[in-house]
């Protein structure tokens, strides 16, 4: 069998047989390092620590305490949470997607009958802890899309079937831990036992694929960390943020309020709040003028054609608001730059005036 030359971050080289894994390389350095390795970066690509290597290259191991480890731990924790939910509620719940996000992760579930409530959190966390203690291997499998569709269809996981069909790829990768299997590109931790510090935090509703015409899903937010100290600090920050929640302060200080009759997220400024807002705006204006800026004002809406020209329409229209006046389309501005560019091009300018 051919030998591979694996270069490590310190410049040293290890010779291993083709088909060896990053875990095998770690073992040649030390058993402790191997136990701590959750993933690897090979020739710049993030890979599972259990993926066979088929060529020589540069390898760096990602251990549980590495900066890069946290996102992998959180993504793997999302799978662990989905596994726990499926074991607890079975076919009553369908799984959809569960990515790592800033400060944690979430997983979206669909169910016609099961409505999640915060009181479910301790039950789900207990099942997650049980599955983590079982130290189940997390195994990557690659198969044809047709086989994956057949698998998920047999499991009643319609959303996974839709995802695979929309990918339009010949082959897809799955990750299996125990009886749970999920569609994912990875990488993931090699064993569930590496997931020890997690906490479910909140619930929210979310439309499938962000489209209000699709089914409403139940999103469970959670977080995971590399150690309990970091989790405790994070939960403390969340508690402090709740104390300073603008909705709470606005109500208590009689600054502003919200009303469902007006619309979600639309602020009703009370006298004290309107005065405070005016003071802040005056301060901002004076500071800009002090630093040599000039003031301009553009319209609140611009023609749809302009948003198409800028690329905003093609890339962000799902997060913009459009209307039509006298058969002419308009979009409410999410930023000032287009109107400012129109002001700039309203008269001839020297190249010396370019911003």
**pLDDT per position as a tens digit, 1-45:** 688 999 999 999 999 999 999 999 999 999 999 999 999 999 999
Residue the block writes with tokens 């040293």: 12
* pLDDT confidence bin for 101, thresholds 50/70/90: very high
Architecture of the domain made up of 69-241: 2-Layer Sandwich (3.30)
Query: Does 106 or 344 have the greater pLDDT score?
Result: 106
**For residue range 102-153, what is the model confidence (pLDDT) as tens digits?**
999 999 999 999 999 999 999 999 999 999 999 999 999 999 999 999 999 9
Kindly give the pairing relationship between strand 45-48 and strand 57-63.
unpaired
Angle at 114 between CA 108 and CA 231, to 5 degrees: 50
Domain extents for the chain?
3-63, 69-241, 301-348
Is it the case that residue 208 has pLDDT exceeding 90? yes
Q: What is the structure's pLDDT at 269? A: 97
- Residue of 159, 205, 207, 206 lying closest to 182 (CA atoms): 159
Mean of the pLDDT values across residues 221-243? Answer: 94
Question: Is it true that the peptide bond before 292 is cis, omega within 30 degrees of 0?
Answer: no
Tell me which of 3.90.1480.20, 3.90.1150.10, 3.40.640.10, 3.10.20.30 is the CATH number of domain 3-63: 3.10.20.30
* pLDDT confidence bin for 95, thresholds 50/70/90: very high
Q: Are 143 and 175 in contact (CB under 8 A)?
A: no
- The token duo for 192 is 């569930």
- Residue of 63, 53, 116, 69 lying closest to 88 (CA atoms): 116
Q: What is the structure's pLDDT at 354? A: 75
- The token duo for 132 is 């983590």
Q: What is the structure's pLDDT at 1? A: 63
CA atoms within 13 A on the CB side of 352: 1
Q: Are 222 and 106 in contact (CB under 8 A)?
A: yes
Is it the case that residue 82 has pLDDT exceeding 90? yes
- Of all residues in the chain, what percent carry a pLDDT higher than 70? 99
Q: Are 174 and 184 in contact (CB under 8 A)?
A: yes
Q: What is the structure's pLDDT at 83? A: 98
* Rg, Å, the chain Cα set: 26
* pLDDT confidence bin for 355, thresholds 50/70/90: low
Mean of the pLDDT values across residues 239-256? Answer: 92
Q: What is the structure's pLDDT at 30? A: 93
* pLDDT confidence bin for 212, thresholds 50/70/90: confident
- The token duo for 314 is 């093609």
- Average pLDDT over the chain, rounded to an integer: 94
State whether the Cα torsion 283-333-311-96 is positive or negative.
positive
Is it the case that residue 47 has pLDDT exceeding 80? yes
Q: What is the structure's pLDDT at 158? A: 97
């Amino acid at each position: 069998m051919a030998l591979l030359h694996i270069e490590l971050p310190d410049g040293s080289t290890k010779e291993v047989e083709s088909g060896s894994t990053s875990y095998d390389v770690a073992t040649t350095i030390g058993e402790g390092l191997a136990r701590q390795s959750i993933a690897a970066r090979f020739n710049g690509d993030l890979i599972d620590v259990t993926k066979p290597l088929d060529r020589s290259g540069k390898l760096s191991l990602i251990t549980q305490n590495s900066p890069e480890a946290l996102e992998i731990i959180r993504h793997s924790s999302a799978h662990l949470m989905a596994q726990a939910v499926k074991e607890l509620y079975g076919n009553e719940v369908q799984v959809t997607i569960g990515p790592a996000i800033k400060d944690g992760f979430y997983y979206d579930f669909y169910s016609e009958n099961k409505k999640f409530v915060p009181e479910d959190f301790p039950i789900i966390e207990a099942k997650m802890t049980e599955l983590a203690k079982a130290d189940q291997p997390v195994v990557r499998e690659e198969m044809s899309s047709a086989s994956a569709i057949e698998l998920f269809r047999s499991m009643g996981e319609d959303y996974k079937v839709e995802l695979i069909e929309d990918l339009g790829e010949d082959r897809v990768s799955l990750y299996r831990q125990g009886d749970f299997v999920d569609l994912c590109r990875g990488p993931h931790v090699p064993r569930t036992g590496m997931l020890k510090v997690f906490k479910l935090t909140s619930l929210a509703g979310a439309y499938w694929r962000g489209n209000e015409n699709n089914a409403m899903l139940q999103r469970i937010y959670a977080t995971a960390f590399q150690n309990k100290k970091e989790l405790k600090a994070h939960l403390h920050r969340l508690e402090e943020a709740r104390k300073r929640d603008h909705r709470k302060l606005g109500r208590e200080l009689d600054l502003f309020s919200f009303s469902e009759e007006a619309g979600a997220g639309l602020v009703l400024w009370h006298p004290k709040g309107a005065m405070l807002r005016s003071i802040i705006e005056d301060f901002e204006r004076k500071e800009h003028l002090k630093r040599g800026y000039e003031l301009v004002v553009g319209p609140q809406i611009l023609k749809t054609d302009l948003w198409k020209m800028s690329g905003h329409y093609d890339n962000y229209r799902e997060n913009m608001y459009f209307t039509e006046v006298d058969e002419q389309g308009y979009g409410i501005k999410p930023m000032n730059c287009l109107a400012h560019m129109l002001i700039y091009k309203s008269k001839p300018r020297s190249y010396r005036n370019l911003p």
